[in-house]
Amino acid sequence: MLDPQFGFADRPGDFEARFVWDFTATGDDKAGPFTGNCGDGKKCWTVKTLDSSAPDKNDPKRSMVVFPQHSPGEKFADPGHGPNAANGVLGFFGIQRPPDGKSVYASTNRIAHGNHSDYFTGVLRVPRTDDLSITIKGRHEGPLKPFEASFTNFTDKPLTGYYQPSYSITRPGDEIPNTGDRIPFGTVQPGQAAKREKLPKKDDKDPTDYVVVASGSATTQTTLAYLGTIGDDPSINELELAPLTEMLAGPDGFIVPMLREINAAIDLYVFADLLQWLAAEATFTPLEQYDIVGGTNDLLPGFFVSTTPVSVSPDGSFVGTPYSGIAFAAAAIDGHVVPAPSTLAQVATGILGLALVIWRRRRVCGRPQ
């Protein structure tokens, strides 16, 4: 079941393992444990079990639960943090082959490791035929690195707004969300990018989401977060932005569209689950149009578009007023972990190049504003 072409990459501070699954139609399916070699013949991380119970005879869908663990930890990730007796839990539920089911399922989990944490992610890819693939990652994190956000305007109208970090999930009925101060990015001219801004800690907590509010003739409020679980509590929560961005997006960070209603006449509230967006390897083009039905579109995995503020229920469902209509990618929102100085210069050059390409394209062909 371990993918022979990749195997198990085991390191003191992190690991990645890839598996294949034949997705048998009947019976229980269980495998493990799997470990690697983090140097000198020692082992640091384990995937204890991949467990799929037999499906109900009247329901062809299967589920898979994976139990990764920072153990035996024979090389310490950092001083004082060797093995972790607790294991993570990654769940994939209601799995079916397309077109009846999704092509990508994703899960993430954080568990305490002393005064640090272990983060786990899992991405399960389901083709129409052939074996399924499962990629499991783990990462030990101490004090988290700073997280930065930016914003690039694709339209020919200036957009004005701000970022605002949050430090816990907003549930239905919450009246006072745990938010930080607004960080204005001012007025962003057509084809230009806002200054990158660090999202600060609050009461020694790292941000778990941030809102980007951009206004022209109408306003779009976009909330970006990684939805997952903490410990063995199955309730869906928001996990810290920085470690999961490093795990799933790497040093270049992520980029997602900021949507506006096609006539820029209706205020939109958008929630973007970055876990689902990045797991699907989704992309977009400047000013691309989307037919939103009931708040969603298949080209926007993890997105929910509403005409009222959005909150997240403990089961992971979105609560809001689903928007149906045409929306378009009026801007790009990006986020990344603060890189080393040499990498930062490369990122800045890339953003400038993107802005120039967008500006030239906008001048050549008329598109929605």
Least confident of 54-58, 66-70, 212-216, 283-287: 54-58
User: pLDDT grade, residue 177 (50/70/90)?
Assistant: confident
Q: Angle CA(72)–CA(78)–CA(84) in degrees, nearest 5?
A: 30
Alpha helices for 79-199 (secondary structure H): none
Q: Three-state SS for 155?
A: coil
Which pTM value belongs to this model?
0.90
Task: Report pLDDT for 1.
Answer: 81
Exposure of 301 in the CB half-sphere (CA atoms within 13 A): 17
Find out whether 60 and 96 touch, Cβ atoms under 8 Å. Answer: yes
CA atoms within 13 A on the CB side of 192: 12
Q: What is the pLDDT of residue 358?
A: 42
Place of tokens 């085991």: 10
> pLDDT for 105-126, tens place per residue?
999 999 999 999 999 999 999 9
Residues in the chain: 369
Statement: residue 350 has pLDDT above 70: no
pLDDT tens-digit profile of 241-270? 999 999 999 989 999 999 999 999 999 999
Check residues 261 and 57 and name the one with the higher pLDDT: 261
> How much of the chain is helix, strand and coil, in % rounded to 5?
10, 45, 45
The answer to whether the CB of 131 falls within 8 A of the CB of 20 is yes
Tokens 């082959």, located at residue: 97
Once rounded to an integer, what is the mean pLDDT over residues 317-343?
Answer: 89
Mean pLDDT of the 165-172 span? 87
Q: What is the pLDDT of residues 302-312, one digit of tens each?
A: 999 999 999 99
- From residue 12, give the alpha-carbon distance in Å to each of 16, 119, 164, 283: 12, 14, 35, 33
**Whether the predicted pLDDT of 360 surpasses 60:** no
pLDDT value at 355 more than 90: no
Residues 7-33: pLDDT tens digits? 999 999 999 999 999 998 889 999 999
Q: How high is the pLDDT of residue 340? A: 55
Say whether pLDDT at 353 is over 80.
Answer: no
How much is the pLDDT for 351? 47
What per-residue confidence (pLDDT) applies to 267?
97
User: For the chain, what is the mean pLDDT?
Assistant: 90
pLDDT of residue 366: 46
pLDDT on residue 357? 45
| Average pLDDT of span 266-292 | 97
> Given this model, what pLDDT does residue 356 score?
42
Q: Which of 241, 297, 292 is nearest to 268 (CA)?
A: 292
